[in-house]
Amino acid sequence: MYWHKELETIDRLRLKDLQVERLRNIVARVHASVPFYRERLLQCSVTPESINSVEDIYRLPFTTKEDILANFPFGLLAVPREEIVRVHTSSGTTGKPKAVFFTKSDLDGSAELIARCLTMTGMGKNDVLQNMMTYGLFTGALVMHYGAEKVGILVVPAGPGNTDRQLTLMKDFGTTAIHITPSYALYIGSVLQKNNIDPRKEFSLKRAYMGAEPYSEETRKKIEEIYGIDVYNSYGLSEMNGPGVAFECEEKNGMHLWEDNFLMEIIDPNTGEPLPDGKEGELVLTSLCREGMPIIRYRTRDLTAIVPEPCACGRTHRKITRILGRTDDMFIVKGVNIFPQQIENILMGIRGVAQNYRIVLESLDQMTVEVEITGDLFDGNVTRLVKLQAEITDRLKNEILVKPKVVLHEPGVLPVSEGKSKRVIDNRTL
Ligand code: AMP
Ligand code: ZN
């Protein structure tokens, strides 16, 4: 099902024409109204009139997180302040939050993209979406909320937390889909298992939309199995509206990035050089339609690759792979570069491993992986525990080339997060 078939299946040559036209307009607008960009464009000798092809993007300067912070709060507005009707901030997982502003038309545009995403996965007026993202300054909940309403979906604005109440709401209103972080979905999964609740019998759930933080394919499978649903990956960031930037279709193998709204590039994070489709690197995005605060060549720090093959669903917007990590997530133990995703991927594929884990960095050459395992394993049979601990240690060592210390816990011991989770605890004193 399509929300806007013509745009979703647009011929790629026409798409390129549209992108050039929009890029030229955006450059003209920031050139005229944002002193920060006018100066940067001058330094690169770029005028709006000189933008004639999508490849001209390479002549434009990058925008970094630091640039947004340096212009806090209103420095990057491309419209008079009176045109702005909403502010959101990034969730600040990596420091001080960044403020992002929306005009009425930006809000409508973000809801349109969510409408495409939800319709693409089969949602319609008969559905009930329980939105368990945090309502407030975080874009996650509100942007999804208005997009779902645009489709005509009944939205239950539950927000995160209070798991008992979430389960009651699901039952009372016949929730068919949830919007949730992977860590909270895992936590609710553990509550269901502990209380012997079979979601297939108790609820009408069919789908979950999961994003806001990186998670592995194994985690998706685990959640699909526990709930008996389809889990769709949803990617976005405040600087580009929030959710609705890239989203999985029913093929569930990569997220279509709406290229009529965002120009995407994958670059080598160290050199800034563009990389070809299929190569893994840092995602760089240019907002082509945002009015209030357009951003050019934003260094997202998210690592992904463009999927080179066309999608069987018929949409022509290229897909990106699951986010493999963030350039600033990486840590180094014994000189080896490690991403938390690699560890999660291994853990979630091991039988006996439950839903929660964390990584504690002790020193430059020592890390501990604390893992919750399923309750039935704590039955006094120590041999089984020792075997599992050895299996986890070996499999992690094969993946990350460093032997971690592995500590097993009973379910419910490690801290749970309702919003974005903190998986890495850094105790190193450098
Ligand atoms: P925020 O601006 O606070 O919404 O945070 C945006 C960041 O959350 C992105 O830059 C990603 O690092 C992360 N993120 C959002 N969605 C996903 C997803 N589906 N998979 C992995 N990371 C994600
Ligand atoms: Zn598709």
d(CA 320, CA 374): 34
Query: Residue 347 CA to chain centroid, in angstroms?
Result: 21
**Closest atom of ligand 1 to CA, residue 211:** 19
Alpha carbon distance 172, 128 (integer Å): 11
In this structure, the answer to whether residues 291 and 337 fall within a common structural domain is no
Query: Residue 218 belongs to what domain range?
Result: 1-327
Question: From the CA of 312, how far away is ligand 2's center (Å)?
Answer: 6
CB burial class (10 A; 0-12, 13-18, 19+) of residue 164? exposed
Q: Is the dihedral of CA 372, 375, 376, 382 positive or negative?
A: positive
pLDDT score of 268: 97
Question: Is residue 173 domain-shared with residue 235, that is, in the same domain?
Answer: yes
The pLDDT value given to residue 328: 86
**Residue with CA nearest ligand 1 atom 7:** 237
Q: Which ligand 1 atom is at minimum distance from the Cα of 326?
A: 12
* Span from the CA of 420 to the centroid of ligand 1 (angstroms): 9
Q: What is the position in ligand 1's atom list of the atom closest to the CA of 97?
A: 3
Domain at 177, CATH number: 3.40.50.12780
Tokens of 25: 């307009």
Both 119 and 198 in a single domain? yes
Residue 300: CB within 6 Å of ligand 1?
yes
Of 327, 346, 378, which closes a domain?
A: 327
Cα–Cα distance measured from residue 295 to residue 285, given in angstroms and rounded to the nearest whole number: 8
**pLDDT for the residue 240:** 98
We report the CATH number of the domain holding residue 349 as 3.30.300.30
Order of all β-strands in the sheet with 262-267: 262-267, 281-287, 298-304, 325-326
For ligand 1, what atom is nearest to the CA of residue 301?
Answer: 10
Is residue 46 domain-shared with residue 21, that is, in the same domain? yes
- As a whole number of angstroms, the distance between CA 385 and CA 367 comes to 20
Q: What is the torsion angle, in degrees rounded to the nearest 10, for the CA atoms of residue 184, residue 231, residue 278 and residue 339?
A: 20
From CA 119, how far away is CA 198, in angstroms rounded? 28
User: Chain-centre distance of CA 57, in angstroms?
Assistant: 24
Same-domain pairing of 310 and 337: no
71 lines ligand 1 (CB under 6 A): no
Task: Please report, as a single letter, which amino acid is at residue 99.
Answer: A
373 in the same domain as 264 = no
Helices (H), ranges, 1-78: 5-8, 12-33, 35-43, 65-70
Mutation test residue for ligand 1: of 102, 237, 322, the one with most atoms within 8 Å of CB: 237
Give distance in angstroms: CA of 267 to centre of ligand 2.
24
Q: Are residues 266 and 390 in the same domain?
A: no
* Cβ pair 213, 424 in contact under 8 A: no
pLDDT number for residue 378: 83
Maximum pairwise Cα distance, the chain: 74
CA of 397 to the centre of ligand 1 (A): 28
Cα–Cα distance between 90 and 96 in angstroms, integer? 9
Q: Are residues 191 and 322 in the same domain?
A: yes
Give kind and range of the element (H or E) at residue 44: none
Same domain for 307 and 336: no
The pLDDT value recorded for residue 94 is 55
C-alpha of 229 from chain center? 20
Taking CA atoms only, the protein residue closest to ligand 1 atom 23 is 213
Whether the CB of 189 sits within 6 Å of ligand 1: no
Low-confidence ranges of the chain (pLDDT < 50): none
Q: What is the pLDDT of residue 430?
A: 61
Please say which residue of 303, 327, 351 terminates a domain: 327
Strand, helix or coil at 332?
Answer: strand
| 230 shares a domain with 198 | yes
Which ligand approaches the C-alpha of residue 233 most closely? 1
Enumerate the β-bridge partners of residue 328. Answer: none
Q: Examine the fold and report which residue of 306, 327, 348 is the final residue of a domain before the chain moves on.
A: 327
* Gap from CA of 381 to ligand 1 centroid (Å): 41
Question: 253 CA distance to ligand 2 centroid (A)?
Answer: 8
- Can you tell me the distance from the alpha carbon of 97 to that of 172, in angstroms, rounded to the nearest whole number? 37
Is residue 46 located within the same domain as residue 190?
yes
Q: What is the structure's pLDDT at 330?
A: 87
Angle at 173 between CA 232 and CA 171, to 5 degrees: 85
Our answer on whether the CB atom of 329 is closer than 6 Å to any ligand 1 atom is no
Which atom of ligand 1 lies nearest, measured to the CA of 239? Answer: 2
295's tokens: 């951003």
> Does the C-beta of 421 come closer than 6 Å to ligand 1?
no
Number of domains present in the structure of the chain: 2
CA of residue 120 to ligand 2 center, whole Å: 8
Q: Closest residue (by CA) to atom 6 of ligand 1?
A: 237
- Cβ within 8 Å of residue 331, ≥6 positions away: 337, 338, 361, 424, 426
Spatial distance between the Cα atoms of 305 and 283, rounded to a whole number of angstroms: 8
Nearest to 235 by CA among 100, 172, 144: 144
Are residue 298 and residue 418 in the same domain, yes or no?
A: no
Q: Is the CB of 216 under 6 A from ligand 1?
A: no
